[in-house]
Structure 1
């Protein structure tokens, strides 16, 4: 159990204890601060407090953090390989294979979070010995995925995304011949006709934006590099498909041609790979997986 001491500045007089802690301790959510207070892990003059206690300024707060709760002991030291692209005291970045969900989805199939927790400890996020998830990849998208080791690291990563200091680049194999470069932007929301899908053809205050440029012209297809400006669910697949350039083998957003194309069986899933990820002070690249390379070779003909 770690102990942290904070002196309340005079200008914080009148603030609530839970809100003060959430604002002063990096990565400590308001919900987590309340939980620690209610469990007796926050004391003033050695005494337990209530989350709503008003501070008067000048007092010393003692915050003790219990050891993180271990995940269910059942599973998943064994599973698919997860090549590590970067590992430090704040973040782990792995090359996620296609076919794995980022977070637990039930059943007997491991998730990236469970595999990383078992293989690359320690983690302490929201009181659990699990990595913090700040961004995600679709189950069948491969490539760079960053996970946080601590609450502070998760908060820093989330702030970097909000401040546009994260650069994510994807490679996609799309059908047809695209413009040399293009920027796509529009509203974004769930498709009212099919809750599994998303679309730009809705009225929504949420926006989705990306840009792409051609990396290689292929036989009946194009290899493009996509730069994300926003991080919406399924965004690349949706915006490219609705622009007339569906991702190869995309069963959800592409027409039948994307699944019957000769190269579709070579990749066996939508042909989208998170190639590069640049965070403040860290930049990594995930090599193209074999299935993507097979499809690329067929399209080169």
Structure 2
């Protein structure tokens, strides 16, 4: 059982104990905070407390954190995940296409496989990695996970403060300009809840930049620099700009879905090839690259003739 001590700042005087823990201790949901307080694992001056206890500021809270519970989705029955970086706080894998990130029913997930293949993890009381960003099921490439609550909080801050650099390769139909930037509103499509769009008013914004890396007859390989991390963002913005991603079954045109390169690939042509993120421990930048997968190489051979 791990011991943790938290100093209450003077400005928190009058705040309820359970609400203070939820706000200031990474990984504490309201339910988890109350459960630990009720179990006697949270003490002040060695004494048990009530969740509603009012803090006076300046005191020290002692927390006994139990060992993480076994992850219900953990499974070693699946592909071995290629690891690009691994330390005490952060694990980055090269996600294969076809795997969901988080558990969905009985489907294999990256979270479940990683929990079994690369322990230890302790996030929100479970022995499984903390998810701080996601990739679509068909998208391959760099995907980072936290080992601890503190690491998850630090990584989420890095994403929110735009300290993370994410780069993608994608194959698109059409003849895009050499460089471009797409920015605008972003919202769920009111006509189809499965889809997102830039064509409705919304306070949420989405932005990306792209550069052509190679041209083919009627298609191009783009490097995409993602400024924001909206669901389906690259697929939506490129499609609505007139350059649909090859093989995209949801946003692609019939021509993009039926293209010979899309058939060779067998999925949407998106690969997260580079990730740069501050280390939760040292603050130094960790930079990794995921090699181009074989199915992407097959599609490029078709495009190159």
Match of 1:292 in 2: 296
Contact 1:27 1:153 in 2 (8 A): no
What's the offset of the Cα at 1:11?
A: 4.4
Q: TM-score, normalising length from structure 2?
A: 0.93
Ranges of 4+ aligned residues in structure 1 off by more than 4 Å: none
Match of 1:149 in 2: 147
1:266 to 1:38, Cα distance in 2 relative to 1, 3 A: same
- For residues 223 and 240 of structure 2, what CA distance do their matches in structure 1 show? 17
Match of 2:137 in 1: 139
Contact 2:158 2:277 in 1 (8 A): yes
Match of 1:173 in 2: 171
What's the offset of the Cα at 1:219?
A: 2.6
Unaligned regions of 5+ residues in structure 1, if any? Answer: none
- For residues 35 and 245 of structure 1, what CA distance do their matches in structure 2 show? 51
- For residues 238 and 212 of structure 1, what CA distance do their matches in structure 2 show? 14
**Which of 239, 247, 252 is 1:241 aligned to?**
239
- For residues 23 and 191 of structure 1, what CA distance do their matches in structure 2 show? 33
Match of 2:229 in 1: 231
For 1:139, what is the secondary structure of its paired residue?
coil
Aligned residues: CA RMSD? 1.6
- For residues 207 and 144 of structure 1, what CA distance do their matches in structure 2 show? 24
For 2:260, what is the secondary structure of its paired residue?
coil
Match of 2:282 in 1: none
- For residues 51 and 162 of structure 1, what CA distance do their matches in structure 2 show? 30
**Which of 157, 160, 169 is 1:159 aligned to?**
157
What's the offset of the Cα at 1:36?
A: 2.0
- How far does the alpha carbon of each residue in 1:63-107 deviate from its partner, in whole angstroms, 9 at most, with x for none? 01001110237x620212310000001111000011000001112
Residues 1:48 and 2:45 are matched in the alignment: no
- How far does the alpha carbon of each residue in 1:104-143 deviate from its partner, in whole angstroms, 9 at most, with x for none? 1112x31000000000001010001110001000000000
For 1:263, what is the secondary structure of its paired residue?
helix
- For residues 194 and 5 of structure 1, what CA distance do their matches in structure 2 show? 49
- For residues 24 and 200 of structure 2, what CA distance do their matches in structure 1 show? 40
Q: How many residues align?
A: 299
What's the offset of the Cα at 1:247?
A: 0.3
